[in-house]
Structure 1
Amino acid sequence: MMNLTRFPLIAALMASVLFGTAMAQTPPAPATPPAAVVQEEPSLIVPTVPAPSPATGPQVPQQIEIKDSHLQAARDLITASRIVDAFEGLLPNIMQQVGVTLTGQNLAVQADPKKRTALTESLKTVEEGFAADRERLYAQIALIYAARFSEVELRKIVEFLKSAEGQKFATVSPLVAQDSFRIANGWAERVGQEAFEKVRAEMRKRGQPL
């Protein structure tokens, strides 16, 4: 059994992976005509803004120069942790929503089998065209990890993820994320309902009933 005390950064990675995986698996909203967006190419100079300290006040943003080997370690991490697998479903979901929206808005597509076939083929062609764009997404995600973790830290985490325990963690994480968010949503709904009554009770104590 691996001694996890050798990997003090694993807890931070777990939280990051669980949140990222759960968010990636959230179904997108129905597609709407997008506004023009200029997407910047990923840069190897990543600005970071440290949290302000009560003692020193706001700090000046710094820039971290990321070497190729550092970035490669980050790419190895998102592969070993299967974060990439979680995001693989995003593009198909987006294209599915585009197809549903276009079909729902166009009666001719609904009535004409040829148009439906053409739409299906068009969606597939457009999805394939976004393959390079998806690689840029992965590069940007790797940059985020490289900005937060040193190269040495990333390689230690990858070492854990390549172990039997790490492989299980990467496999089970999506299920843990789904269960965790389901429980959290139920908790939030219950607390929200109880909060209304508790606030009203507090207001009555203060002689200001609602």
Structure 2
Amino acid sequence: MSRRTIAALGFALCLALPNVAFAQARKPAPTATPAANTPAANAPAASTFTPGHLALAREVMLSSGIARSFDSVLPAFADQIRKQAVTRPELAKDLDEVLASLQPEMELQKQRMIDIAARTYAAKFSEAELKEIATFFRSPAGKHYVEAQPQLLDEMVQEMQDWTQDVSEYVMVRVRAEMGKRGHQMQ
């Protein structure tokens, strides 16, 4: 599994885990019709976000630990640029200075992504739901959950790599056996 795949998987898990923990913790609200409890039915249109709704969405997004994934993106860009400049070692000092001088701009770019993510949360959750989620992340269990997330993700990625390898081998053995029953030998 490539590092890019692992990173994508980690980010996807990072997005999914808070929702799983919250879904287990909250009680479903009574609804008049089945369609009334869908995310689309509960979330307001993008143009109707109140400042409070956006603030709660931002708080939930930040307190969930998801913004940590944004923290690693910008240094990765800088590392990639440095690696490309390896062929010209005389650029190293100036390149490091330029990259350091760009840090405030890069921080603004990260804040822009945080704002986008907050709007995404606001689009998926009503203000009332965000209040419940924020309460969870403020709780001792929620704080512990966020603190444990990096280790959980590392362990899950390792387990998924092992699982993927095991399943791949299992499927190949089964395919060979079934093809053998049909008179085909596969290496």
TM-score, length of structure 1 as denominator length: 0.63
Higher relative contact order (CA 8 A, sep 6+): 2
SS in 1 for 2:45: strand
Give 1:93's aligned amino acid.
Answer: A
Q: 2:13 aligns with which of 1, 14, 19?
A: 19
Residue 76 (1) aligns with residue 59 (2): yes
Counterpart CA distance in 2 for 1:63 and 1:149 is 8
151-160 vs 123-132, which moves further: 123-132
Q: Which runs of 5+ in 2 are unaligned?
A: 1-9, 17-42
More helix by share: 2
Show CA shifts across 1:32-54 (max 9, x none). Answer: xxxxxxxxxxxxxxxxxxxxxxx
Number of residue equivalences: 149
Instruction: Show structure 1 runs of 4+ deviating over 6 A.
Output: none
Structure 1 equivalent of residue 157 of structure 2:
181
Structure 2 equivalent of residue 64 of structure 1:
45
Counterpart CA distance in 1 for 2:74 and 2:15 is 15
Q: CA RMSD in A?
A: 2.5
Counterpart CA distance in 2 for 1:138 and 1:95 is 20
Residues 37-56 of structure 1 correspond to what in structure 2 (within 5 A)?
Answer: none
Give 1:97's aligned amino acid.
Answer: Q
Residue 149 (1) aligns with residue 132 (2): no
Deviation of the 1:63 alpha carbon = 7.9
Tell me if structure 1 keeps the 8 A contact 2:82–2:95.
yes
Tell me if structure 1 keeps the 8 A contact 2:53–2:127.
yes
Q: Which runs of 5+ in 1 are unaligned?
A: 1-15, 23-61
Tell me if structure 1 keeps the 8 A contact 2:14–2:149.
no
Residue 93 (1) aligns with residue 69 (2): no
Tell me if structure 1 keeps the 8 A contact 2:56–2:130.
yes
Structure 2 equivalent of residue 56 of structure 1:
none
Deviation of the 1:20 alpha carbon = 2.9
Counterpart CA distance in 2 for 1:73 and 1:135 is 16
TM-score, length of structure 2 as denominator length: 0.71
